Amino acid sequence: MTSPIELDELYCDFKESVQASIPEANLDLCLTCGACTGGCPASELLDMDPRKLVRMVLLGMDDEVRKTPWAWVCTMCARCFKACPMKINIPKLVYSVRRSWPRDKAPKGIRGSCDQHIRAGNAMGVPSKDFIWVVEDVAEEIQENDPKFKDLKVTVDRKGAHLVINQNSREPVTEPDELGPLWKILHMVEADWTYPSVMWAGENYCLFLADEEGWKYILEEFVYHIDNNLGAKVVVNTE
């Protein structure tokens, strides 16, 4: 015979750990209204949705919660959070689920990109000297082939530049010609800018992996380089 759930006897370790690390997550406030789920493109995928995940956490279904690969299908886009009348931070809950995965069980692609970033300063694992070489090579080609841009200036680690620009590593690594248009725009507005050679890439897979140590390390190295070596006032994320 089916019996009612005894709420007093629930062990909700996962919920408690989330509440401890993210007090603003407000999990207990869920009204089960489903606004989160109604507007979520990941609803029903892998037989899961945001409301169900919250419910499972509240019911202490910790094993199922920790194991659901849905945590990697949800993109933490925060549409659910915006729609939630009780301001339950579901993206942060999903982030906590990701964080609870053993590092070696997390998706290989995301883990690999995070590892490369820690090691080389970009998710594709390209050494800084190769990045600098590509940048100089492409710049030279533009200067030589286009008279309008014969004075195009592209620098790496230029001290005192006002702007430091983060570039997604995809451009220099797989499609260097895509660097040109942005540089031309910067040239036309006479922007005072440079690229950093340390943690130069715009992407951040350690955040996606919920690897806080890696994420923090990347940021610390980056901030140290900008503040102590370059002195830029503004850091710009590109498209």
Structure tokens, 48: 């899961």
Residue 47 to residue 69: CA distance in whole angstroms: 11
Instruction: Give the total of residues touching another protein (CB under 8 A).
Output: 64
Do residues 200 and 235 touch, judged by C-beta distance below 8 A? no
Site for another protein in 33-72 (CB under 8 A): 39, 41-42, 45-46, 69, 72
Q: Which is nearer to another protein, 198 or 219 (by Cβ)? A: 219
Region from 2-10, 28-36, 51-59, 141-149 binding another protein, contact rule CB under 8 A: 141-149
Region from 11-19, 30-38, 124-132, 198-206 binding another protein, contact rule CB under 8 A: 198-206
CA distances for 29 relative to 78, 85, 88, 222, 232, angstroms:
17, 9, 7, 38, 44
Task: At 163, give phi and psi (nearest 5°).
Answer: -110, 135
User: What does the angle CA 167 – CA 170 – CA 174 come to, to the nearest 5 degrees?
Assistant: 130
The reply on whether position 22 binds another protein by CB under 8 A is: no
Q: Which of 136, 150, 181, 229 forms a contact with another protein (CB under 8 A)?
A: 181
The reply on whether position 74 binds another protein by CB under 8 A is: yes
Nearest to 55 by CA among 21, 99, 96, 88: 88
End-to-end CA distance of the chain: 58
Q: Which is nearer to another protein, 60 or 89 (by Cβ)? A: 89
Structure tokens, 186: 């910067």
- Give me the 89-108 binding string for another protein, x by CB under 8 A, dash otherwise: ------------------xx
Give the interface with another protein as residue ranges (CB under 8 A): 39, 41-42, 45-46, 69, 72-79, 82, 107-110, 112-113, 142, 145-146, 148-149, 164-165, 168, 170, 175, 177-178, 180-182, 184-185, 188-191, 202-203, 205, 208-209, 212, 215-216, 219-220, 223, 226-227, 231-239
